[in-house]
Amino acid sequence: MEIYIDSPHNRIMMNKSIILMGIPSSGNTLVYNIYNHIFDKVISVKKIDKKYLTKNNYNVITYRDPRSVLYSLCYYSCGDSIDFYNNNKFKITEEMIKENIGDVVNYFNQMNKFINAKFISDTIFLKYESFVNCYDTIFNSLLDINEDINLSYEEKIHITGKFCKNNKNQLDNYLDGKEIVDEWEHKIPRRFHDYINTVLYIPITEWGYNVKGQNITNFY
């Protein structure tokens, strides 16, 4: 199926709804925009909820390094007092970490409920670090829903240009870029690393991230 999509009227009709959900700050909006540009019946929900595990849905779930999620939650907990584009002024504190780290654990606990679910074959997990600099990862995931999709290079560039927020003169770099390494450890003071790695040890390791040799001790 060769398609050139530039209008909601050209979207592929689906028998099932596509439910987009994810861990906060894990690229869910980007994935939603691309999926919604291709398919009809795409629904974005704010909460990862097992109630969507039905044979009537495809579920697309985005996730990210738990420590980067924690940093983001702390950052946005400051509201409008911090300039998004000048976040060098943002200083994370112990109080912020302790207020938000439990939410990170809960988010990943909710996501774990999908792993052994009955309809897991209709669930797609997308790793932020794999697709944020390589949109082909998102485009390839479309085939899990409709294997007849055949987007040309020009179509991918066109769609990428609509939703890429960065340098639009180098769009081809976003199709086959490399997986990134999130910079949480440079944003969160080192004195907090051991505590964070300990509390988040299970989601960090279960979802394929590296603890990087930090001392894992019992803080409880």
190-213 mean pLDDT: 91
- Cα separation, 59 vs 43, in Å, equals 10
pTM for the structure as a whole:
0.84
Calculate the average pLDDT of the chain: 81
pLDDT tens, residue by residue, 117-132: 655 667 889 999 999 8
Joined tokens for residue 51: 């109630």
pLDDT tens, residue by residue, 146-184: 888 888 888 888 888 888 776 555 666 667 667 777 678
pLDDT value of residue 2: 44
Burial of 91 (0-12, 13-18, 19+ CB in 10 A): exposed
Which sequence spans correspond to the domains of the chain? Answer: 8-206
pLDDT value of residue 68: 94
Topology (CATH level 3) of domain 8-206 = Rossmann fold (3.40.50)
- Cα separation, 96 vs 113, in Å, equals 27
pLDDT value of residue 172: 67
Sign of CA dihedral 15, 8, 151, 166: negative
pLDDT value of residue 12: 76
pLDDT tens, residue by residue, 11-48: 777 788 899 999 999 999 999 999 999 988 899 988 88
**Is the Cβ–Cβ distance between 129 and 62 less than 8 Å?**
no
